[in-house]
Homo-oligomer: A and B are copies of this chain.
Amino acid sequence: MTDRKEFRDLAPPEDARDAIASLDLAPDPEEVPLRDARGRILAERIDADLDVPGFDRASMDGYAVRARDTFGADEADPARLSLAGAVHAGEEPDVEVGEGEAVEISTGAVMPPGGDAVVMVERTEEDGDDVLVRTAVAPGDHVMLAGADVAAGERALGPGTRLTPREVGLLSALGVESVPVVGKPTVGIVSTGDELVRPGERLNSAAGQIYDVNSYTVATAVEEAGGDPRLYPHAGDDYDEMERVLREAADECDLVLSSGSTSASAVDVIYRVVEERGELLLHGVAVKPGKPMLVGRLDNSAYVGLPGYPVSALTIFRTFVAPAIRDAAGLPEPATATVEARMAAEERFDEGRMRLMPVGLVEDGEGDLLAYAVDKGSGATTSLVEADGVAEVAPDTAYVAEGEAVAVELFSPDVRPPSVLGVGEDDPVLARLLDELDRPRYLAVGSRQGLRRLRDGVADFAVTTADGGERPARGSLSAEELGSYEREWGLVVASGNPEEVEGLADLVDRDLRFVNRGTDSGLRTNLGNALADLADDRGVSRRDLVEAIDGFELSAKAHESPARKVAGGQADAGLGLRATAEKLGLGFVPVGVETVRVLANPDRTDKEGVRALESVLSDVGRFTSRPGFSP
C-alpha cells in the first residue's frame, strides 16, 4: 500500500476559518445591464446625473394657468379663462400661458411658459373657447418642479446596496443603463476519483462506477452563495492529469474546490500538487466531518479541498466556504439561513473534535422546531434530503440533551422543514398519496423501524402493515390511525409466468431462485406467517420450509427491488405487490391481502400536514386502482 497521510496535527476550526478568510476570493467589479442587475451588489456609489423630473411637470390632468388669475374663483363664481392651446405628455409646449389664459395639459406634460399652477380637470368646465375654473389655485399647485424628485448631484445609492426592484426603479429614473456591481467570484470545481461519472452519462456498475454527486451539489451551493461555478472535466486519480486540471482551474478561477473521491490516495495527490504549485495553509481540521480538509493557494487562486461524502462536503461548504464566497460577492448572510430548534433526542459524542452534526427538522404539535441527528457518517446520498442543515457542537461535548436548543444552519436559505414527516413501509399507493401533499418527507425504513421512530417522538406518522412487522402494542405505543387501505401481495414472476409458479409451495418444492425483502419489511413477516401456515398444513417446521427456499435470506431493500431482480432475470420469483408487478409489466401470483395502516403521533394530529394527509387518506380509493384484484 502507498504511504498514507496521517492527520495528526489537526488545526482548530477557527484556524480553518481564518485561513479561508485570508485567501483573496474577491473578483473585479463588473458592469451589468440594469435588466440583469437583480440581486447584485452595487460596487460604487451612484449619484444622480440628472434632475428628475427634468422639467416642471403637471401632476394632474387639467389646465395650466397663472395662479393669480384664479384667485377668488369658486363653484359659484368661476374664473373665465380663454383656452390658448394644449400640451400633452411627451410634447414640447408650442404655446404660452398669457394673462387670463389657460392651456389644457395632461399629467406628466411640460408646464408651458407663463403657467405656474395646474387646475384639476374635475374643477373646470369648457365653455366654447373658454374654460370656467371653479377653484382657486396657488403657484406650484399640481406642478412638480424640475429636480424636485431627484436633483442632479444627489447621492442616489451607496456602494454595497443590493439591487431589488425598487433600486432598479430609481436607477431607471436616472436613465442608468448599466451599473457597476461586485463581481461574482468564479469557483472552479474539480472532481477526482476514477470511479466518478457525470449524471446523464452511462454508468458501468460492474466496474464500480458511481455518479458524481458532489460536483453538481457543490456547484449549486456555490451559485446560491453568490459565486459563479465552473465544472472541470473530472480528473481521475492520475497525478499529471489532476495537476493539469487543477492548474487550469486555478488559472481561470478565484477559488478552486476539489471534491469527489474519498480515497486517501486521491487526497495525497492533491496535497502534493498544492504543496508543489502553491502553498498549503492548512491540512486537516479538528472537525467532524471534514478531517482531511485542505486550505491553501494554488498558483494565484485560493484552494479548498472538501470531503468526499456528499453530506460532509455540503456541511464543510456551508460552514467554511459559503461565508467566504458571500463575503467576496458582497452578499449578506440570508435572513433565512439559520433557524433555532430543540433537540428531539439526546445525542452523544465519543470524540473530542468539534462536530458539525447534520440534522433533520420537524415541527412538533406546538409548531416549534425539533432537530434530530441524521447521517451519522454513513455517507449515504439519501441523507442529503433528510438533512436540513447543520448544528455545530463544541469540541469535547459529551452529549447534547433532549430539548436542548441548537442553532441550525440550513443547507440552503430555501430549505423549509417538511410539512409532515413520515416513516415506515414503502408503497406505491402511499407514494401517490404523498404526491398530493405539500413538502412531505417520507423515509422508507420499513414497518418495524417506522414504528420505532414514531415511538421516539420524531416522526409525525408511520406507515405499517398490520399483519407484519412489529404490531403496535397498545400499551407501548399510543398512536392514532389516520386511515388504512389494503394491498395484495404475493410472488412477482416473469411476464406470462413461464415457470408456472402457483404459490409458495413452488418456492419450497421446486428449484426456483427467489428474492425476499429485508427483515424490517412487513411483507417479509407476512411471508414468514404464510410459510408457518404451510408448515402447519404439512406438519413440518417453518424452518424446514425456509431452508428449502433458494434465496429466502437474499433480501432486497425497496419494495420494487425483488421484482426488479425478476425483471433482470436474476431471479424466478420475488416477494412483492400486485401493483409493482403491473407497473413493471411482470406476472403476479397472489398470496394474500394485507392492510396498510397510517398511524399518527397523537401529539401531532392537529398539525396541518397531518390533517392534509388524513384528508387524502379519506379519499384513498382514488389512488388504489387495482385492476384484476380479486380478494
Contact = CB atoms under 8 A, between A and B. Distances in A.
The complex is assembled from copies of this chain, and their number is: 2
B4 A121 contact: yes
Contact of A208 (B90, B163, B193, B414): B90
A203 B54 CA distance: 9
Interface in A207-260: 207-221, 223-224, 231, 236-237
B89 A261 contact: yes
Contact of A153 (B218, B231, B262, B558): B558
Interface residues of A, number: 143
Interface in A160-204: 160-178, 193-197, 199-201, 203-204
A588 interface: no
A166 B385 contact: yes
A50 interface: yes
Interface string A61-90: 100000000000000000000000001111
A137 interface: no
Contacts of A54: 203, 205, 209-210
Main secondary structure of the interface of A (DSSP, over half): loop
Given A206-B92, A207-B91, A199 B216 contact: no
Interface in A385-424: 385, 387, 411-412, 414-416
Interface stretch (A344-352, A436-444, A453-461, A535-543): A436-444
A497 interface: no
A166 B387 contact: yes
Instruction: Give the one of A89, A335, A426, A439 with max B CB within 10 A.
Output: A89
A414 B161 CA distance: 11
Interface stretch (A106-114, A276-284, A294-302, A544-552): A106-114
A217 B165 contact: yes
A149 B382 contact: yes
B89 A263 contact: yes
B175 A200 contact: yes
A204 B261 CA distance: 62
Interface stretch (A17-25, A34-42, A611-619): A34-42
Interface stretch (A8-16, A498-506, A559-567): A559-567
A151 B431 contact: no
A155 B216 contact: no
Nearest to A45: B435
A224 B172 contact: no
Given A38-B224, A149-B381, A195-B89, A262 B216 contact: no
Contacts of A558: 48, 147, 151-154
A164 B415 CA distance: 7
A529 interface: no
A157 B164 CA distance: 32
A572 to B, nearest CB: 19
Given A55-B208, A221-B165, A558-B151, A384 B170 contact: yes
A185 B442 CA distance: 30
Nearest to A87: B208
A556 interface: yes
A164 B263 contact: no
User: 4 closest pairs, A vs B, by CB?
Assistant: A153-B560, A177-B200, A54-B205, A151-B558
11 contacts: A34-B216, A52-B210, A89-B261, A90-B209, A91-B194, A145-B557, A152-B558, A152-B560, A166-B387, A173-B213, A335-B336
Interface of A: 1, 4, 34-35, 37-39, 45, 47-48, 50-55, 57, 59, 61, 87-92, 104, 106-110, 121, 126, 144-178, 193-197, 199-201, 203-221, 223-224, 231, 236-237, 261-265, 308, 310, 314, 332, 334-336, 379-382, 384-385, 387, 411-412, 414-416, 426, 431, 434-435, 437-440, 442, 444, 556-561, 563-564, 580
